[in-house]
Structure 1
């Protein structure tokens, strides 16, 4: 299968080289950074309830993807083949594709909310193009993308089925109980990745994978690191805990208002988010120790809590948003 998929990637790169910029654009639409820019826009400026649902779903999906990558511990195409050109570089394992999985969960939830046939067609096209872009850039095998689509669809369907009954149960808890549920859920998500890593035992990344990746992309790999798992778990806790504090008091955030005011909300909120993120980043050591993982968790939790609670509270205080 690897030989067949490498040949397919090589043919795609050779026959459609002119699509590189377009493929890089659609690949960006599946980047975690894209979701971190768009979810606050929904939460602060358009539809707070949809923004809340997207934030929770993407946190769960991201943590699950990190664990599954370790479970399968399979390489990316440019790690193992000199016959493909590496138009991107990623330090994590390849299966399942986080871009494919995230595209199905993110765009699928929005489509389920919009419920318009023309929007569904657009969403399907976007999801497919994101998947194709990952193959074209030689950062994923076709199998990685297909499995990512399947895992994303399963995650989305499970979320849609459980969000209402689980949400009602959590809403009946006191605030302290809701925050504890958010903490327990995030730690459970991190524990899944830790358990997956433990099952590998003494297995090591083949030296040929590391050498091939470095030779063809110029970037080292670290697929056994839990840094991304700590970040995903921290974001889930901060966002969920912040929402637990914000929603009972004000019913969430009122996103109506002039577009100029909404734009001011978004720009100021994102700037503070960036300051929190990069400010904490200066404190995080590069070594893969427990201290680094703890600080990564705190960094992500602080950013998530700012998005769901801190920013709405600041907007209300500054009269950039209503309190109801």
Structure 2
């Protein structure tokens, strides 16, 4: 089974090498394009929409994108798929990735993020721009040597399914969530955030049996892709927990409006982001010596607090400082 899979992966290097045949000149533009679906870019877009454009759309987009990222890491933690540069020395790795490959997180999350914004804009040019951007991001992942075509296609399919579900059921889901008693929504928030982490950790410990690189992988494999994937899953799930709790608490306080003067919106963005940018610094200072499951658990807690700040602490600070107002529709209809 593993031999057949590895043979298939080796055959898949041909399309990667063909795309890389465009030449080294394309490395810089594709590296810039791929950044539009990176973690940093996603955080900036989510913060900008929620704090400065439309609070309701931003909250729903946050849940959709973070849930997508959590599912992506969970699938990676189960599938243990290699990246092209791990399989063949012929593939040039123009970017470094330490986690497993399938499905492509950039393709999946770009589909959810930019697809949602394109659809919700209500403007056909913006929708087509989102489609073109998603396509370019997918090509960039193959060119950069970090994904096979099958990884990208899997990411597109999963992302499209999640986007369809979000657009179809978000209204009903928000009304249902806002009608839950405190004990129940809190329990559900913990469950959907913690259970994927527990499942992945048990899978790696019991089923994975201690990951080791396949003997047929002839490229440069990072030292611990299983640990990196697990840490990514824990951090994303922590952010999901913090966001669900924060948005629900904020709705109970009357929500808030992202409208206002341009100067107020800019001030909200800078103030809110000043706390978020401390997360990587704290991670390095506090957790620099940790590894494995201990690091993953620590990142879960850290990113839960960061997301709680973004979804509740920052909006409350904006309202109290006069940078934002309560939403007149927030108390009656929840996360709008």
Fold shared, TM-score > 0.5 on shorter chain: yes
In structure 2, what is the equivalent of residue 170 of structure 1? Answer: 177
In structure 1, what is the equivalent of residue 331 of structure 2? Answer: none
Q: 1:237 aligns with which of 241, 251, 254?
A: 241
Q: 2:273 aligns with which of 270, 275, 291?
A: 270
Q: 2:311 aligns with which of 308, 311, 314?
A: 308
Q: How does 1:200-215 map to 2 (within 5 A)?
A: 200-202=207-209, 204-206=211-213, 212-213=219-220
CA change 1:98–1:59 in 2 (3 A) is same
Mind listing any 5+ residue stretches in structure 2 that lack a counterpart? 1-7, 328-336
Q: 1:279 aligns with which of 275, 282, 300?
A: 282
In structure 2, what is the equivalent of residue 24 of structure 1? Answer: 31
CA change 1:222–1:287 in 2 (3 A) is farther
- Report the alpha carbon displacement of residue 275 of structure 1 after superposing the two structures with TM: 2.2
CA change 1:211–1:6 in 2 (3 A) is closer
- Report the alpha carbon displacement of residue 36 of structure 1 after superposing the two structures with TM: 0.9
CA change 1:165–1:299 in 2 (3 A) is same
Q: How does 1:44-193 map to 2 (within 5 A)?
A: 44-193=51-200
- Report the alpha carbon displacement of residue 207 of structure 1 after superposing the two structures with TM: 6.0
The separation in 2 between residues aligned to 1:201 and 1:208, in whole angstroms, is: 16
Q: Indicate the larger mover: 276-285 or 64-73.
A: 276-285
RMSD of aligned alpha carbons: 2.1
Q: Is residue 63–residue 190 contact of structure 1 (8 Å, CA) maintained in 2?
A: no
The separation in 1 between residues aligned to 2:168 and 2:252, in whole angstroms, is: 23
- Report the alpha carbon displacement of residue 230 of structure 1 after superposing the two structures with TM: 0.7
CA change 1:121–1:184 in 2 (3 A) is same
What is the TM-score normalised by the length of structure 2?
0.88
The separation in 2 between residues aligned to 1:183 and 1:209, in whole angstroms, is: 40
The separation in 2 between residues aligned to 1:238 and 1:300, in whole angstroms, is: 7
Q: Is residue 190–residue 230 contact of structure 1 (8 Å, CA) maintained in 2?
A: yes
- Report the alpha carbon displacement of residue 276 of structure 1 after superposing the two structures with TM: 4.4
The separation in 2 between residues aligned to 1:256 and 1:165, in whole angstroms, is: 25
The separation in 1 between residues aligned to 2:134 and 2:93, in whole angstroms, is: 22
CA change 1:299–1:98 in 2 (3 A) is same
What is the TM-score normalised by the length of structure 1?
0.91
Secondary structure of 1:29's aligned partner: helix
Q: Is residue 99–residue 131 contact of structure 1 (8 Å, CA) maintained in 2?
A: yes
The separation in 2 between residues aligned to 1:290 and 1:223, in whole angstroms, is: 10
Q: 1:254 aligns with which of 254, 257, 269?
A: 257
The separation in 2 between residues aligned to 1:77 and 1:276, in whole angstroms, is: 31
Mind listing any 5+ residue stretches in structure 1 that lack a counterpart? none
Q: 2:15 aligns with which of 8, 12, 18?
A: 8
Q: Is residue 107–residue 159 contact of structure 2 (8 Å, CA) maintained in 1?
A: yes
The separation in 1 between residues aligned to 2:292 and 2:97, in whole angstroms, is: 21
The separation in 2 between residues aligned to 1:122 and 1:130, in whole angstroms, is: 12
Q: Is residue 204–residue 210 contact of structure 2 (8 Å, CA) maintained in 1?
A: no
Q: Is residue 80–residue 208 contact of structure 1 (8 Å, CA) maintained in 2?
A: no
The separation in 2 between residues aligned to 1:263 and 1:210, in whole angstroms, is: 49
The separation in 1 between residues aligned to 2:166 and 2:208, in whole angstroms, is: 32
In structure 1, what is the equivalent of residue 201 of structure 2? Answer: 194
How many residues end up aligned between the 2 structures?
A: 319
Q: Indicate the larger mover: 131-140 or 272-281.
A: 272-281
